[in-house]
Structure 1
Amino acid sequence: MKNRTLPADGTETDGRRLPSHADLNLLRTFLAVYRSGSFTAAAPLLGLSQPTVTAQIRTLEQQTGRELFTRLPRGVEPTQPAHELAGQIAGPLDALTALEGGKGTLAGHASPVHLAGPSELLCVRVLPALAPLVADGVQLRVTQGVTEPLLEEMRAGQHDLVLATRRPRGRALPSTPLADEEYVLVAAPAWGERIAEHPEADDLCATLRAVPLVTYAEDLPIARRYWRTVFGKQLTERAAVTVPNLHAVLSAVNAGAGYSVLPRSLCQEYLDSGRLALLHEPEEPPLNTLFLVQRPGSDANPDVIRVRERLRAAARDW
C-alpha cells in the first residue's frame, strides 16, 4: 500500500477527506468501538447511548467515504480501512487522553484483565501459570463456562481473553492454537480389577456396559467422541451420573461411582498416585485443541498482552 500524506486542510492526496479537529469526538468513539469490539460495549466506556455510538460511527463513515466496520449478529468486525485509521490515530488520541487525565479504553492504561474458560482448565493450568503475574500487580477477573456462551459474551465486550475448546467461527475473533489436550478412559482401581477379571475382558466396550458411566452432560460429548475415535463405534449407554463440572466428575469416579473419559491434565495426579486406573491405552489417544481467543482492541491494555504471552509460554509444557 502506498503512503499518503495529509495536508493541513484534512484531505488525503487521493482526494478523500479525513476527519478534522471538529471530528475529535467521532474519532474517540471510533477507537472505543474498534478496541471493544461492539457498539454496545463501547457505549458505557464513552458515557453515551448505543444509538448515539451507532450514529457517530455512521457519520464518520460518511465523512471518510469508507465502511469502517462489518456489522455481525454479535458485535462488529473492523475492515481494513478501520485498521489503517486506528493505526494513524491510536497513539495521538491515547496521548491526548493521558494529558487530559482520562482513563478507560482510550487511555491504554493497565486495568483488570477479563479472562474466561472451562473451570477445570482454569484451575489446573491457567491460574497457576498466571500466579507470578498476579504477584507482580496484574489484576484478573475470571469467569468460568463453556466455549460458545463465553465467545458470545466476548463478542459483546465482556471478556478480553477466552480459553476455547474449539476455534471461533468467522474472522471477528482472532485465535491461536494453544495446546492439545489428551483424553483418557479412567475408573477407580476396584473397577479396573473387576473389568480385568470379566469373562469378556478382551472386549472392553462390552465389559463397560456393566459399569456406571459418569459424565458432565446428558449427551455424553466427550465419551461419545472417545468411542467414535478409539473404538470406531457409537456409544449407546446412558449416563448413571451427570454433573456439569469435570472436577465433580473426577471426584465421583475417584470415589468409585463408575468410569468416565477425562482430560489427562485433570486426572494425571490421580493416575500417578494410583487413585485412578487407566482402563485403556490406545495407540492414538483422542486429542482436543485448545485455542486462545482475544477480543479485538483489548491489547490497548498492556496487561492483556502480558497474560496472553504468559499463557502461550506456559502452554508449551502442557
Structure 2
Amino acid sequence: MLNDLDLNLLKVFIAVYRHKSITLAAEEMGMTQPGVSGLLKRLQQQVGSQLFVRSGRGIAPTHHAQELIRHVEPALIQISNALESLNGFSTHHPHKFVVYTSEPVMLMLLPKIEADVTLGNVTIELQPTHSNEERLLHGLNQHQADLAIEFTEHATNAFFTEALFDDQICVIARKGHPRVSQNITREQFYAERHITLKLRREDAYLADYFTEESLRDRTVAAECTSLVSQMSMVSTSDCIATMTASIAKQFADKLDIQVLKLPFTDIPIQYRLMAHNRVRKSPSNIWLRDKLKSYFE
C-alpha cells in the first residue's frame, strides 16, 4: 500500500479535514471540487475505510479519519520542514508572509519593514488581528496568516508563543492645555473629559485593562476604535486620553501632544508572537520570528 500511496492524497485529506468542506479545501488548494472529491475517493479506496460522512450542509470526519489525521499530519509537517531545511530559508526567493497584529504594532512595524534593506524578495504583509479569538485561531490554523502578534494569552495547546516586546500606557493631552502640563494627578485625571479607546475582544477600556487599581467612571467626550483618531481628537481639544506610550511618543511632535505618566499603577503590555505548533521548527517561520524580534531589540 505504501508503494502506491500518493502524498498529494494526504495533503487533500488534511485540507478537507481542516475545513470540513470539499468546496473550501478546493479553494485553498487551487483545485476544482470534482478534483478534490476524486482524490479523496482514491484515498478512501486505498485505506479501505470511509473518511467523511454528510453532516448538515457540510461533512464530518469518521473515526477512521480522526485516527488518520492524528498520525499523518505531524508526519507531513516533519517532511515539509525537512525539505525546507535542505537549502534553508533564503531571501533571494520570493516569499510572502502575513502577520496578524493590532493597530499600535502596525504603526511601529511598518516604518521598520519599509526601511529594512535586508528583506530581499521577501514581503511581510500586516493585517488587522481578529476581534474574535475563535476567528484568530481559525485564521492561523487555516494558513491564512503565518503568525500573530498578541498581548493576551490563549488557552490552547495547538499554538505556541514567544516574547516580542513590552509596552506601557500613558496619558496624553495637547500642548498648551489650560489645566494639564508636564504631569497629571489622579484628581485631574478624573476631572478632565476623556477620549476613550475600547478593546473589543476584552470588552474593556484600555485604561481599565492595564491598571492595577479599579478606576472610577470618567466623563467621556468620545469613544474611538483607532489610536490615530484618538490622538487627533486630543490634539484639537482640551480632552485627555489614555493610550500606549510607544505610539504616543512616536507621534507626540507631529501632533503637538504631551506624553504624561499615568497617575496609577500600570500593568505592562507584553506583546508576544503566536503561531501554530506545526510551524515551530519551520525555517521560514523561524526566520520571520527572528526578523520581527530584531525590530524591537
The residue aligned with 1:162 is 148
Cα contact 1:119–1:245 (8 A) shared by 2 = yes
Q: Which residue of 2 aligns with 1:73?
A: none
Deviation, structure 1 residue 223: 1.4
Question: Retained in 2: the 8 A contact 1:299–1:305?
Answer: yes
Q: Do 2:169 and 2:207's aligned partners in 1 also have CA atoms closer than 8 Å?
A: no
Change (3 A) 1:44 1:270: closer
Q: Which has the higher strand share?
A: 2
Q: Using a 3 Å threshold, how does the CA distance of structure 1 residues 29 and 207 change in structure 2: closer, same or farther?
A: same
- Indicate which of 221, 228, 248 corresponds to 2:205: 221
Is this contact kept in 2: 1:39–1:54, CA < 8 A? Answer: no
In structure 1, the partner of 2:139 is 153
Name the residue aligned to 1:115: 99
1:183 equivalent in structure 2 = 169
Indicate how the Cα distance of structure 1 residues 305 and 211 shifts in structure 2: closer, same or farther if over 3 A, else same: same
Distance 2:255 2:66 in 1: 63
Looking at structure 2, the residues matched to 265 and 126 of structure 1 have their Cα atoms a distance apart, in angstroms, of: 14
User: Do 1:29 and 1:42's aligned partners in 2 also have CA atoms closer than 8 Å?
Assistant: yes
**1:244-270 deviation per Cα after TM superposition (whole angstroms, max 9, x unaligned):** 111111122222341111111101145
Q: 1:29: which partner in 2?
A: 12
Residues 149 and 274 in structure 2, CA contact (< 8 A), matched pair in contact too: yes
Q: Which runs of 5+ in 2 are unaligned?
A: 52-63, 87-92
- 1:26 is aligned with what amino acid? L
How far did 1:310 drift? Answer: 0.3
Supply the distance in 1 between the matched residues of 2:67 and 2:172 (Cα, whole angstroms): 54
Residue 144 of structure 1: how far off its partner (Å): 1.9
Using the TM superposition, give the Cα deviation of residue 122 of structure 1 relative to its aligned residue in structure 2, in angstroms. Answer: 1.1
> 252, 267, 288: which one pairs with 1:286?
267
Within a 5 Å distance, the mapping from 1:97-136 to structure 2 comes to 110-129=94-113, 131-132=115-116, 136=120
| Contact in 1 for aligned 2:100/2:127 (Cα 8 Å) | yes
Shift of 1:283: 8.5
TM-score for the superposition, normalised by structure 1: 0.65
SS in 1 for 2:191: coil
Residue 253 of structure 1: aligned partner: 234
1:20 deviates by 3.5
Alpha-carbon distance in structure 2 between the residues aligned to 1:132 and 1:267? 23
**Which of 179, 182, 187 is 1:194 aligned to?**
179
Q: Deviation at 1:297?
A: 4.6
Whole-angstrom CA distance in 2 between matches of 1:159 and 1:94: 21
Which residue in 1 is equivalent to 2:54? none
1:284 Cα shift?
Answer: 5.3
Deviation for aligned residue 1:296: 5.0
Q: Identity of paired residues, percent?
A: 17
The answer (yes or no) to whether the contact 1:116–1:161 under 8 Å persists in 2 is yes
Q: Structure 1 262/235 Cα, relative in aligned 2: closer, same or farther at 3 Å?
A: same
Tell me the TM-score normalized by structure 2: 0.69
| Cα 1:222/1:111, change in 2 over 3 Å | same
Structure 1 vs Structure 2 CA RMSD? 4.3
2:67 paired residue number: 67
DSSP-derived class of the 1:194 partner: coil
Instruction: Give the match's secondary structure for 2:216.
Output: coil
Q: 2:73 aligns with which of 82, 85, 90?
A: 82
Please state how far the C-alpha of 1:287 moved relative to its aligned partner.
0.9
Q: Which SS does the other structure have where 1:115 is aligned?
A: strand
Question: Separation in 1 of the partners of 2:207 and 2:229?
Answer: 16
Deviates more, 1:274-283 or 1:113-122: 274-283
Per the alignment, in what secondary structure is the counterpart of residue 239 of structure 1? strand
Q: 1:113 to 1:57 in 2, by over 3 A?
A: farther
